[in-house]
Structure 1
Amino acid sequence: MGVLYKTVKNTQAIQKQSMISDLMARGITETQDGKSILDLDYYELRHELVLAEIRKTDIESPENKWF
């Protein structure tokens, strides 16, 4: 069980660095609460990346309308 735990933690650490890079490429360095993205854990970073993707979506475009 210890090996699996270490593998998951290492994978999350790699993904965390990737998410930080993606957010910085979009010009996002802190959350709306003013917390630095460098201080966030894996799940908080994932949440911020989803919010950034939602903000990027052009809701006026006909392809992005739901109804």
Structure 2
Amino acid sequence: MYESRLLADTQSEDTPQKGEVMNMAILFAAAMAEQKKQFIIERLNKRNIFRTETGKSLQECDYDELKYLLVLSEFKEIDIAADANGWF
């Protein structure tokens, strides 16, 4: 009886239930994914890239497509003639 009273005391109305916690975790993950996507879009926009080579808007691309575009744009800026960028 003492244990059930303790359990009842720890479960107040302000304590989120298991389903609510799961929903909050899903929303947090979605928000973080969108924030990462927006960060890459901002970096691409600073490089004057607003669409893919096929004409697709950056907003329509998924995270992996955006990462690929960013890496390609960074590779294009490497000066391969410089001694510091040589193989050996």
- Superposed pair shares fold, TM > 0.5: yes
Category of TM-score, reference length = shorter chain? 0.7 to 0.9
Over the aligned positions, Cα root-mean-square deviation in angstroms equals: 1.7
Query: Would you say 1:40 and 2:83 are equivalent positions?
Result: no
Query: Would you say 1:56 and 2:77 are equivalent positions?
Result: yes
Structure (1 or 2) with the larger CA radius of gyration: 2
How high is the TM-score relative to the length of structure 1? 0.81
1:8-57 residue CA offsets vs partner (Å, 9 max, x unmatched)? 33222101111111101100111122212121111111111111111111
How high is the TM-score relative to the length of structure 2? 0.64
Distance 1:29 1:62 in 2: 32
Q: Greater relative contact order (Cα 8 A, min sep 6): structure 1 or 2?
A: 1
Identity of aligned residues (%): 35
Note the residue ranges of structure 1 that are not aligned, 5 or more in a row: none
Query: Would you say 1:16 and 2:41 are equivalent positions?
Result: no
| Stretches of 4+ aligned residues off by more than 4 angstroms | none
> How many pairs are equivalent?
66
Note the residue ranges of structure 2 that are not aligned, 5 or more in a row: 1-21
